[in-house]
Chains A and B, each alone.
Chain A
Amino acid sequence: MFRPEFFLYLLTMAGVTYLIRMLPLVLIKEKIKNKYILSFLDYIPYTVLASMTVPAMFYATDIVPAAVGFAVAVLCGYLEQSLVKVAAFSCLGVLITELVIKYV
């Protein structure tokens, strides 16, 4: 079920990931007052997620179905649907497009 070296890999992976999350949370206790730093932190979640998504999403599967999935997600996101609905409709868009390309 497990290879012997697996646990060393697991420790490395989980350890590094945890330290990244833990150190700032534990070390920074004062409220930051500087408005530029606060603004920077306001923008960060959106810029991180956006740069993770574009263009990577278009390569997650074949490019045409992926583009349809992207368009569907943007539309649903614009209509402020829940996380789950947006993800589900996006997958559905990809699935339908793939089936159309394959069989029509």
Chain B
Amino acid sequence: MRHGLMLWREGELSQADVLARQRRLQAAMRENGLDAVLVYTNHVRSAGVTYLTGFTPYWSDALLFVPREGQAIFATALSKRVGNWIRSTNPTVEIAHSPQPGRMAGERLSALSAGNIGVVELDRMPSGLVEEITSKTDARLIDATDIFAAVRALPNAAELALATTADRIAANAFAEIPADRRLVGDVTEVLELNARLAGAEECYVAAAPDLAADQRLARMKGNAPLGGYFAIRLSVAYNGVWIRRTESLARMAADGAVAEAARAADRLAEAIDPSAQPAPQIAGHALSAGMTILDWTVEAPVATRPLQPVASRSRPAMRDVPYGVLTLTIGTAHTPLVFTRSFGLARQTARGGGVA
């Protein structure tokens, strides 16, 4: 669920911002002969509706129905008692409560005489919802994932600014890690506290407590001991936008080799152009002497997942994305180290335009 700060902040993401995104989707619908688009949301697959409305459900699920013309409708099984909260955080759409939101959407589609309905990630839609929709309309359901992904791949200034804030929250939380750290809990507690005090909507923490033994990150018990070198991943949501940061650290004290590897990860991420394929950019980037890239993965917002793997060393081809995070495993003389860095957040200033 989402436990952290959730409210509408017009100064960070305005109604005009999200309405412009809805209009872009409506234009794409007209180009592709769609009468409406349906986007499903829950707090795991929140990113599609968050992009279009700024709203993320803290719990439960819902369906956003964007007609080709006019106001979008948010159909939810959440009760009317929660209606005030939804309206306060989702101001641009009509809020429609129903124990069967799919049925309600089906009725509205039928009233519009809609023939072709685009559904973002149709195959992933809960089958109960699809049954409700098709019980009320004969319209054809068409997968609209690529249409939506193309709309949301355009870099958006408000989204990049939110991702930058999330990134700063994560970096600042890491700066608070104590020098005296022996257990996983000594680190995860500090990260969780500081990220949430800074206004994070949600955060997830994972650890690889002994990098010499295993570089995979997992949720560890707080009393798990830290090895000589360890890695911690902090995933932060701020106002609906997610970012990740992973740091590798030496348990005892500042370590020059680790710091140099971190700087190398910074430099590589800063050099990545999200509008180009990452594989050649990574392969062509020279790290410091004695360091090699053992593995990499790029994650980005594409459809309904806030961050999903979109390219990796073994599957390098990447679709268009607005920004992303790059996770690197760097081989060093001592032990492999893991870092995650954002990229593409500075596009607005770097390019002086091209950002919606």
User: A and B: partners?
Assistant: no
